[in-house]
Structures are given as structure tokens and as C-alpha cells.
């Protein structure tokens, strides 16, 4: 049988550096921990109100295509926020889920940073549900200077039930990948 896991959690405030990260992208020293990771990508922030999702999947049970895997993760988030009336999209040449891509108002609601070893996936997504966005001003998120970050709370004007958002996202992941989660 397929032994797949999906961890969904909130982190204490932390800045993480991916393999492409530049220390200079942490703009000012704070008392928040900075952790080097082996995921792809640059620097990002994780903290309360943000849903961090770590799928641990053997892609040989699904498809051996890391790009398709990343598109599936994005699609699950796009479908989740659509339930709340938020239109998420992809931005050419960038990973993650974006609102109003290609306009002067484009902003990122979900970041991706993944790694696979022998087709087993690690790391995953940082999905801003009720995240305090002030922390992003301490860094250059994902090394992108000119792009804003947003959250569901920011877009809708009030905090969401994180457990509810989490269960919708889990269902979308199950439907896309076609597996049951115990």
C-alpha cells in the first residue's frame, strides 16, 4: 500500500533559508530564529496563522515529475481559496499562488519550496491564512524585491478558522492525488 503522509502545522515565528537564499535578503536582525534548510528557493517566513504543509509522498506512486507535483500543490491552494471567493492564479516563471498576477497589484498568498530525494518529497508550502504579514517586511520574500505578500485574512478583512481551511485543503490534495488519508 501507499505509505504517504501529509503534515499540516503552524510554526513559531521563523525565517528559513532555502538552497538559493542570500543572507542579504534578511534585511534587519530580529530575535526570530533563522534556519538553513535543504529545500529549494530563497528566504521565507513561517509563523502563527500560516498553514505550513509538508507532504511526504513517494512520487513513484503518482508521477515522477517535480513540476507537475508543484502545480498540484498550487492547484490545491487555488481550489481552497476559491471556496472563500478568492481568485488565485499562477504567475509565469514563478512558483506559488498569486492574486492579480501580471498587474501592479499582484501579490503572493502561498509560497512553495520543495525537495525530492529518490522521488520522495520533502518541505512544501507556506499558505498565508491569518499570518501576521509585518514579518515579511524584515526579509525579501523568496528573493523577489518588488512583489507583495498577502493572506486570506488580509483579502477578506477578518480572520478565518484555520482548522476549516486546513480540512478543505486536505480534501483538495486528496482529490488531486487520488489517495485516502487515515
pLDDT string in tens for the chain (182-residue length): 457 899 999 999 999 988 888 878 887 778 899 999 998 888 889 999 999 999 999 999 999 999 999 999 999 999 999 999 999 999 998 999 999 999 999 999 999 999 999 999 999 999 999 999 999 888 876 666 667 899 999 999 999 999 999 999 999 999 999 976 55
Q: How many CB atoms are located within 10 Å of the residue 9 CB?
A: 11
CA atoms within 13 A on the CB side of 8: 18
Contacting residues for 145 by C-beta, under 8 A, at least 6 apart: none
Unique residue bearing C-alpha cell 512520487: 59
Picking from 38, 70, 36, 40, the residue whose alpha carbon sits closest to that of residue 55 is 70
Picking from 99, 101, 111, the residue whose alpha carbon sits closest to that of residue 155 is 99
At 13 the pLDDT is 95
Q: Classify residue 178 as exposed, middle or buried by CB count within 10 Å of its CB (0-12, 13-18, 19+).
A: exposed
CA distance 3 to 54: 14
pTM for the full model?
A: 0.92
DSSP annotation of 89 reads B
At 179 the pLDDT is 79
> What length is written for the chain?
182
At 1 the pLDDT is 47
CA distance 67 to 12: 29
CA distance 75 to 72: 5
Contacting residues for 152 by C-beta, under 8 A, at least 6 apart: 81, 84, 86, 109, 128, 129, 130, 160, 165
CA distance 137 to 167: 30
For the annotated catalytic residues, the residue numbers are 142
At 138 the pLDDT is 84
User: Do the Cβ atoms of 23 and 16 come closer than 8 Å?
Assistant: no
Amino acid at each position: 500500500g501507499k505509505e504517504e503522509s501529509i503534515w499540516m502545522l503552524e510554526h513559531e515565528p521563523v525565517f528559513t533559508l532555502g538552497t538559493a537564499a542570500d543572507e542579504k535578503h534578511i534585511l534587519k536582525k530580529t530575535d526570530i530564529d533563522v534556519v538553513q534548510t535543504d529545500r529549494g528557493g530563497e528566504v521565507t517566513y513561517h509563523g502563527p496563522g500560516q498553514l505550513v504543509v509538508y507532504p511526504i509522498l513517494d512520487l513513484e506512486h503518482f508521477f515522477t515529475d517535480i513540476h507537475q507535483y508543484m502545480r498540484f500543490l498550487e492547484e490545491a491552494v487555488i481550489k481552497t481559496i476559491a471556496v472563500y471567493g478568492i481568485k488565485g492564479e499562477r504567475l509565469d516563471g514563478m512558483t506559488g499562488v498569486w492574486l492579480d498576477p501580471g498587474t501592479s497589484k499582484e501579490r503572493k498568498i502561498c509560497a512553495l519550496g520543495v525537495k525530492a530525494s529518490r522521488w520522495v518529497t520533502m518541505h512544501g508550502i507556506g499558505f498565508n491564512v491569518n499570518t501576521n504579514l509585518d514579518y515579511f517586511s524584515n526579509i525579501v520574500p523568496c528573493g523577489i524585491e518588488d512583489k507583495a505578500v498577502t493572506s486570506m485574512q488580509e483579502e477578506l478583512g477578518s480572520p478565518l478558522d484555520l482548522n476549516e481551511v486546513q480540512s478543505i485543503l486536505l480534501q483538495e490534495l486528496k482529490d488531486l492525488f487520488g489517495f485516502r488519508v487515515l
